[in-house]
Chains A and B, each alone.
Chain A
Amino acid sequence: MTVTTIGAAQVHVDAEGFLTEYGEWNEDLGSQLAAQIGIELTDAHWRVIRFLREDYAEQGETATLRRVSTQAGIPVKELFALFPGKPAKKMAYVAGLPKPVGCVLSVAGPSRSSERTARRGGIR
């Protein structure tokens, strides 16, 4: 586990630089993470990021593009415009969450994902 400094904050990150501790993130940090990958956050970005944060807290895994489009009603086209190139990974990075693991949608139905959260000792 690596500790890195982003702005004034010390945060835990994985080998690629994704935050590993849900609780270490805040919106200031989100802006700084976005700036590091060349994205200036607008209200439209924040809508996506706040959805990702809330959804992760409930589901225990990072929403895929499809989940953001179907659950938050933000079209896939817009996600590609807001986070160009690799939208799912960039969104997760800025929101301080792990990369999404699902191929299309998070594979978990409600029951399976809550089991997964429990196994992991819940959201910290």
Chain B
Amino acid sequence: MTSTQAGTAIIPDFGDGASAGRKLAVICSKGNLDMAYPGLILANAALGEGVEVHLFFTFWGFDMITKSRMRDLKFTMLGNTATHMPQGLGGLPGMTAVATHQMRKQIRDVGVPDVPEFLDQIVDSGGHLWACRLSADMMQLDENDLYDPVEGVISAGDFIDKTEGAQLLFI
């Protein structure tokens, strides 16, 4: 191993200057167990890098923040060719429960938390959670039905306003 001598101390760039002010907006529109995770993982990663993060839950994504459903998201093989199983199998009674159980185990095995616990971590890391006004009206839900740290039920326009200049992910 050859060593070179650095003249001055090398100090990592933790981006306290240049990337300060970077923002990420994540729109979560799906309520399946498997589709809940991409947004959560990326939001969590961005927060760890000092990025300001706003998540907007809309349509089926509302299940991720609805108290009565957030612990019970499901995974189905139906319509998902990436399981590489015969599609007919997914339609058998009880198959969604089996597939959900299996996926929860795989997620747990890599040390990734359940959706509610993951949201807790995102909020503790400084992430902001917003619920979609139209979805709330459609599903006849209000703040009391939603996970407590959700900061508000807002319109799409309000969300766009809050995330001015942000990079955006639609999931």
Contacts and interface: CB of A to CB of B under 8 A. Distances in A.
Given A5-B9, A17-B11, A85-B14, A66 B110 contact: no
A6 B12 CA distance: 13
Contacts of B148: none
A85 B12 contact: no
B49 interface: yes
Contacts of B44: 104
Nearest to A12: B3
Nearest to A88: B48
A90 B111 CA distance: 22
B3 A3 contact: yes
A65 interface: yes
Given A16-B10, A65-B48, A104-B44, A85 B15 contact: yes
B9 A17 contact: yes
A80 B126 CA distance: 9
Contacts of A6: 9
B113 interface: yes
A31 to B, nearest CB: 14
A101 interface: no
Interface in B1-57: 1-6, 8-16, 41, 44-45, 48-50
Interface string B101-125: 0000000011111000000010011
A16 B15 CA distance: 12
A107 B12 contact: no
A12 B2 CA distance: 11
A104 B14 CA distance: 19
A75 interface: yes
B6 A2 contact: yes
A104 B41 contact: yes
B9 A104 contact: no
Given A16-B10, A66-B111, A103 B16 contact: no
A36 B9 CA distance: 9
A107 B41 CA distance: 13
A103 B45 contact: yes
Interface of B: 1-6, 8-16, 41, 44-45, 48-50, 109-113, 121, 124-126
19 contacts: A1-B1, A1-B3, A2-B6, A3-B4, A3-B5, A17-B10, A36-B9, A75-B124, A76-B121, A84-B50, A85-B16, A89-B14, A90-B14, A102-B111, A103-B41, A105-B110, A105-B111, A107-B110, A107-B111
Given A4-B10, A85-B50, 19 more contacts: A1-B1, A1-B2, A2-B10, A4-B9, A6-B9, A15-B10, A18-B12, A37-B11, A66-B121, A67-B111, A75-B124, A76-B124, A77-B124, A84-B50, A86-B48, A87-B48, A90-B14, A105-B110, A109-B111
